[in-house]
């Protein structure tokens, strides 16, 4: 089953996607983590995307499609996957279903939109910034970069909520509460989708 996570930066997608993936035995595909790994390992891809990521902008749809296609073609994805951070543009969404169909994974069946007010995500990210500064991680959590990531989210990614609502696969989930509370809501949506 193909599942997509949507939500603003700092909504908790990564944490929740990992828990859901473990519970349902599906691989979690985090494009942000994959790109950060490429940057860390100094690969050719890493070199191409480093500055774009540091500024809070999006890597091109072409580069992302290639990355996601390679990953979804791996044997561990044969039963589907949980996508965390992809698609992030209409272009990415438009090519995703043809890709997953071609790979025999079926269309996206469930889109979990984690709803968290902007004020709350800004607070959460500044908390994360203090932690990650201590660990030398994620320079894209800097204040001005967070502002740019929020702008990019509103402009390019938020329209995907309507896109998937129109296709009747959207489940909006309240992302405010403890990690366990939010997980409970997501798990319920997931259970229903599995039964369908
Ligand atoms: P966030 O915490 O904002 O959700 P991610 O960890 O998912 O961030 O991604 C970090 C950065 O990686 C993004 O700001 C962007 O530059 C790049 N990136 C990740 N996924 C995509 C994507 N699907 N399309 C384009 N760029 C992406």
Q: What are phi and psi of 37, to 5 degrees?
A: -65, -45
Q: How far is the CA of 196 from the centre of ligand 1 (A)?
A: 31
**pLDDT band at residue 140, thresholds of 50, 70 and 90?**
low
Measure CA of the first residue to CA of the last residue in the chain; give whole Å: 11
Summarize the confidence of residues 168-185 as an average pLDDT: 97
Q: Which residue's alpha carbon is nearest to atom 23 within ligand 1?
A: 86
Catalytic residue chosen out of the listed positions 71, 128, 142, 165: 128
Instruction: State both tokens at 139.
Output: 């320079």
Report how far residue 13's alpha carbon sits from residue 43's, in angstroms, rounded to the nearest whole number.
26
Per the confidence metrics, is the pTM higher than 0.85?
Answer: yes
Total residues found in the chain within this entry: 196
In this predicted model, what pLDDT tens digit does every residue of 65-109 receive, in sequence order?
Answer: 999 999 999 999 999 999 999 999 999 999 999 999 999 999 999
Q: Which among 17, 56, 59 is the best mutation to test ligand 1's pocket, defined by most ligand atoms within 8 Å of the CB? A: 59
In the chain, the domains with their CATH numbers are: 2-195 (3.40.50.300)
Which residues are CB-contacts of 135 (< 8 A; sequence separation ≥ 6)?
Answer: none
| Nearest alpha-carbon partner for 113 in 183, 57, 186, 195 | 186
Q: How far is the CA of 58 from the centre of ligand 1 (A)?
A: 6
């Amino acid at each position: 089953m193909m599942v997509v996570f949507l939500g603003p930066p700092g909504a908790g997608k990564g944490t929740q996607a990992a828990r859901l993936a473990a519970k349902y035995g599906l691989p979690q595909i985090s494009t942000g983590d994959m790109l950060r790994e490429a940057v860390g390992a100094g690969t050719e891809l890493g070199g191409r995307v480093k500055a774009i990521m540091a500024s809070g902008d999006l890597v091109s749809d072409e580069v992302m499609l290639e990355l996601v296609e390679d990953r979804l073609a791996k044997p561990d994805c044969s039963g589907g996957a949980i996508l965390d951070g992809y698609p992030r543009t209409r272009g990415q969404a438009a090519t995703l279903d043809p890709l997953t169909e071609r790979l025999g994974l079926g269309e996206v069946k469930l889109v979990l939109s984690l709803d968290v007010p902007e004020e709350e995500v800004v607070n959460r990210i500044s908390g994360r910034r203090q932690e990650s500064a201590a660990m030398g991680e994620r320079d894209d959590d800097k204040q001005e970069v967070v502002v740019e990531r929020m702008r990019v989210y509103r402009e390019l990614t938020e329209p995907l909520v309507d896109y998937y609502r129109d296709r009747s696969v959207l489940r909006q989930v309240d992302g405010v509460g403890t990690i366990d509370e939010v997980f409970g809501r997501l798990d319920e949506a997931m259970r229903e989708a599995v039964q369908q």
